[in-house]
Amino acid sequence: MRSRAKSGGAFPPDGPILRDPGFSPIASGVTALKKSRLVSVEEYLASEELSEIKHEYVDGWVHPIGGWTLDHSAISGNVAYTLLTKLRGTSYEVFFFGARVKIEQDQRTRIYYPDSQVVCGPVDGKAFFTEHPTLVTEVLGESTRRVDMVEKKEAYLAIPSLKVLLLVESEVKGVTVYRRSASGRFETELYDSGVIPLEEIGVALSFEEIYEGAESP
């Protein structure tokens, strides 16, 4: 079942940062950069290659990614696998968690690991991140909800190429869809069952496909 609400179209490039600033040590055995010093994108990428855990980059600060529950992992995999299956043979590329997206606006840079993303057109397979996704998915968990629903949501909605953002609940069944309208503004749709149409990429996602194997919802 779907309900609809309008959402603002212009999101501030310096949307709220909801994580304490500071550099977290990248990995054991790797020389940690000084905590008080901002980190360049190049330093972040080099350290991330050697890291045992994943980090996200927000305007020079590096933050470790919180842990996932098994339900979160199942839902994330379901969405990515379903999109990959349905979009095979099309002009779209589907990337799972582990593929980063880089967002640049007004001399500000953020690099996130979305749960999945869909990119239109050929992609350089040797690149370290995408920059022009059509669709992005984030699965909400207890430890990531606040960051995903505010900081990351506003950053994603500032991507010029983005047409759809999916925020998928992992503790109850529910999906919030931010869909770009013809005016360029995003409208919000709330689903608690049924099928989510994704005309922008020519497919749809059902709740059965999203939540298969997840116990909590």
Question: Per-residue pLDDT tens for 108-130?
Answer: 999 999 999 999 988 899 999 99
pLDDT at res. 146: 86
Kindly give the parts of the chain with pLDDT less than 50: 6-18, 20-34
Q: Measure the CA–CA gap between 80 and 99, rounded to whole angstroms.
A: 12
- Nearest partner of 166 among 91, 79, 88, judged by Cα: 79
What is the pLDDT, as a whole number, of residue 59? 93
State the pLDDT at residue 78. Answer: 97
pTM of the model: 0.84
3-class secondary structure for 54-99?
CEEEECCEEEECCCCCHHHHHHHHHHHHHHHHHHCCCCEEEEECCC
* φ, ψ dihedrals at 177, nearest 5°: -110, 125
2-13+66-211 domain in CATH 3.30.930.10? no
Could you tell me how many residues make up the chain? 217
For 72, the token pair is 């979160």
